[in-house]
Chain A
Amino acid sequence: MDGFLCVSGRVAAMPAANIDTDVIMPKAFLKGIDRSGLAAGLFHDLRFDESGAVRGGFILNRPDMAETRFLLVGPNFGCGSSREHAVWGMLQYGIRGIIGSSYGAIFADNAANNGLLLLSLPTAEVAAIMAELSDDAGEMTVDLEAQRIVTGRYDAGFDIDPANRRALMLGLDRIGETMAHAEEIRSFEKAYLDRKPWLMGGGDER
C-alpha cells in the first residue's frame, strides 16, 4: 500500500445512514483464505441485481464514476460485522479515502490498519459537501500533510488522530513496533498471571 500524502480524484456521495459491512462486502465474497478478489465484491448487491445485471441507478455504476477515489458517506458508515474484507475491497476497488461524520468502530480500526483514510467531519460540513456535489461528478483533493480537504467550493482543514495520520503517511509495521516492547509485555504478563493464578486454568493447563 502506498503511503497517503495527497490524493485527488472523483468522489461519490452515498448519503444513507448505517451502511453496514454486510452491504459493503456481501457474504458471497467471504470464503477466501487470502485477501484477493474483493474489488468484485464491493457493494456487490447494490451494483448488480439478482440476475447479475448492472443496476444503472447505483452511483458507482455511473460512467463518470469509474475512477472513484473517495466516498462521501452518511453517519455510522461501516457498522455491523468485523469483516476486514470490507476495507480490503475498498482499497482493491481504488477507494483511498472516506469522508463522513461517524463510522463503525471496528471498521475504523480496520481502515487504519490498512491505510484507508477515514475523515470524520462535523455533520454540517459533510452536509455542505453533499449539497455542493448534488448530481455533479465532483473532484476532491485530500492533503494529509497539510490536513486540508478541497472540493470545487469547499476548502477547509480537518482534524485527524496524529498516530493514525503518521501510519497513513508512512505505512508502518504495527506488529514490529509492538514487538519492540516485547520485554515489557513479558514482564507485565508474568506479574499479572502471578497475581491472578485462576487465569491459568482452562486453556493453559492442557
Chain B
Amino acid sequence: MSAPKTLYDKIVDEHRILSFDESGAAGERLLLYIDRTVLNEYTSPQAFSGLRAAGRTPWRPAASLGVVDHVNSTNPDRAAGELDPGARRQIEYLGENGRDFGIEIFDLFDPRQGIEHVVMPELGLVLPGMVIAAGDSHSTTYGAFGVVGFGIGTSDIEHLLATQTLVYRRLRTMRITIDGALAPGVTAKDMIMEVIRRIGADGAAGHAVEFAGSAIDALGVEARMTICNMAVECGARVALMAPDDKVIAYIAGCPRAPSPAMLAAARAEWWALRSDPGARFDREIALGAHDIPPMVSWGTSPDQSLAITGVVPNPEDIPAERRADAVRAMAYMDLAPQTRLQDIAIDRAFIGSCTNARLTDLRDAARILKGRKVAPGVRAMISPGSSEVRRAAEAEGIDRIFIEAGFEWRRSGCSLCLAMNDDSLAPGERCASSTNRNFEGRQGIGGRTHLMSPAMVAAAAVTGKLADVRTLAAEDRI
C-alpha cells in the first residue's frame, strides 16, 4: 500500500515524463506533459515568432485552440467595433499563425468566440485529470473540473507549443475546506473573496490549492469555476476541486465532449481523482460557509475587501506592515476611513470577465434587475463570457431584462476587466465590477474598481451606490 496522495500529486505523477531529481516531493524538477492549451492574441504572438525564427513547429497542433478575446471591441455590431492598429495586427497574426501551423482559431466573427476560459469548458475540451497550461493567469479556472490548470508566460507558451511539455517544479499543497450552507444572497464570488481577504494576496503563494467541503460540493460547476479562477488572486498557482457527477454531466452536454461510450470508460478514473483519506497537505485552512457575507473590495488589491455592511477601515486598525499600502489604496480610491461602503456612489457597473460572466452569473444578476432601472448617471454594461453564453441568454429572454433595466447588451470579450479594448474607465470613474482585479489603473488609468458578485453589481447599478443584494432581494419577496 503506497502512501496516501493528494489529488494534485496524482495528476502531476500521471503527467511526469521524467524527473530531473527523482525527489517526488515539493520542489521536484520534472518534465511535465501538457494535455491542452488555449492561445490568445496578445500573449501568443512572440511565441509563434520564436517558433518561426528557430524553424520549429508545434508538437501536437490539435492540442491547441486560439481565441480572440483580450483586445476586441464588444460593440454589439461586430463589424463596427473599434480596433486600434495594434489590436488589428494581433488578431491578424493569430489567424496567420493558426493557418501556418494547423491550429484551430476562433476569430472575432466566429460564433464560438468568447473569453478563453469560458470557451474551453463550454466546448467540452476541459476533462478531469488533464494538465492545461495557457498564457493567461486565470487558467486556474480549469481546476473546477479536477484539472491542474495554470498560467504561463510567452516563453513557456513557445516551449509548450514546441514540445507539448513544460519544465515544471512540483508545488507545495494546501487544502481550503469550506463546510456548511451559504446564506441567501451569498455566492461563490463572495466565498473566494472572503478566502483572499483572510489569507492575503500572497496567502497561497507557491501552493496548489485544493478546495473541499460540503459548501464546495453544493456548488454548480460554473460557480466552482469562479472560485478556481480567482484563486490566483491569493497567489495560488493551481486551484483544484475533485470532480463529481455534476462535472461529468456538464461535460456530457458539451459539443466536443467525448462520446457516451468514452465518457462511460472514463467515469471510474474520474471518480478516483480525489485526495486519498489521510493525504497530507503542507497547509490546511477551514472556514464556515454560513459566516460569509456578500463582499466588496474597497482598495487596490483583491485582499482589501469587506462585507458590504462594513466601513472603510481606519489605518490605525490595520497591521503596521500593511498600513502604508492601505493608506495609498485609500488615496487612489478617494475613500476616507470610516466611510460606509453602502454610501459609496458609482459611475459605472460592469458584468463580465472569465470570473463571472457565465449563464448562471447572468441569471443571478437578471433576478435583481427584473422590474428595476439602472440609477440615473450610472453607465451599465454586460459583456457575456462567450458568444454561446450570449445566445443562450437571449434564448431565455435574459437579454431583455438587462436591456429594459438600462444595461448595454455587449458582445463577448475580456472587455472592461482589463480594458485593453475601447471599454475603459475615465480617470476618477468608479465602477462596480464582477471582475477579478482591482489593481490601480486596471480598468483604465485613474479608474477605481470595486469587485463583487454579478448580483451585487446589479444591486449597485440600480441603487447608484454600492448596495447589499439582500436588501433588494427582500423587497422582491414582499
Contacts and interface: CB of A to CB of B under 8 A. Distances in A.
Contacts of A81: 136-137, 418, 437
B79 interface: no
B149 interface: no
A32 B45 contact: yes
A23 B441 contact: yes
B442 interface: yes
B265 A197 contact: yes
A163 B125 CA distance: 34
Interface in B3-29: 14-15, 17-18, 20, 29
Interface in B73-126: 84, 86-87, 89-90, 93, 104, 123-125
Contacts of A192: 14-15, 33
A59 interface: no
Report which residue of B35, B153, B167 has the largest number of chain A beta carbons within 10 angstroms of its beta carbon: B153
Nearest to B441: A45
Contacts of B235: 76, 79, 104-105
Interface string A171-206: 000110011011011001100100011110111101
A13 to B, nearest CB: 13
A150 interface: no
B372 to A, nearest CB: 33
B360 interface: no
A49 to B, nearest CB: 9
B380 interface: no
A47 B63 CA distance: 41
Interface stretch (B201-209, B342-350, B455-463): B201-209
Contacts of A35: 46
A26 B419 CA distance: 10
B62 A109 contact: no
B159 interface: yes
Interface string B407-448: 000000000001110000001000000000101111001100
Interface string A153-177: 0000000000100000000001100
A23 B265 contact: no
B164 A22 contact: no
Interface string B49-71: 10000101001101111000001
A22 B33 contact: no
A179 B258 contact: no
Contacts of B18: 181, 184
A79 B439 CA distance: 10
B266 interface: yes
A23 B440 contact: yes
A50 B446 contact: yes
Residue of A15, A30, A199, A202 with most chain B CB atoms under a 10 A cut-off: A202
Contacts of A9: none
B177 interface: no
A31 B87 contact: yes
26 contacts: A17-B202, A18-B301, A22-B439, A22-B441, A22-B442, A23-B440, A27-B418, A31-B420, A34-B46, A50-B445, A79-B235, A80-B137, A81-B137, A82-B43, A82-B135, A82-B137, A105-B205, A106-B152, A110-B154, A113-B155, A178-B31, A199-B35, A199-B130, A201-B258, A202-B123, A203-B62
Closest 7 CB pairs of A and B: A31-B86, A84-B153, A110-B153, A33-B45, A113-B155, A76-B202, A198-B262
Interface of A: 15-18, 20, 22-23, 26-27, 30-35, 45, 50, 74-76, 79-84, 87, 102, 104-106, 109-110, 113-114, 163, 174-175, 178-179, 181-182, 184-185, 188-189, 192, 196-199, 201-204, 206
Given A80-B437, A204-B60, 19 more contacts: A17-B322, A18-B325, A20-B439, A22-B418, A31-B90, A81-B136, A102-B202, A105-B205, A109-B152, A110-B156, A114-B155, A178-B159, A178-B163, A192-B15, A196-B129, A202-B125, A203-B63, A203-B64, A203-B65
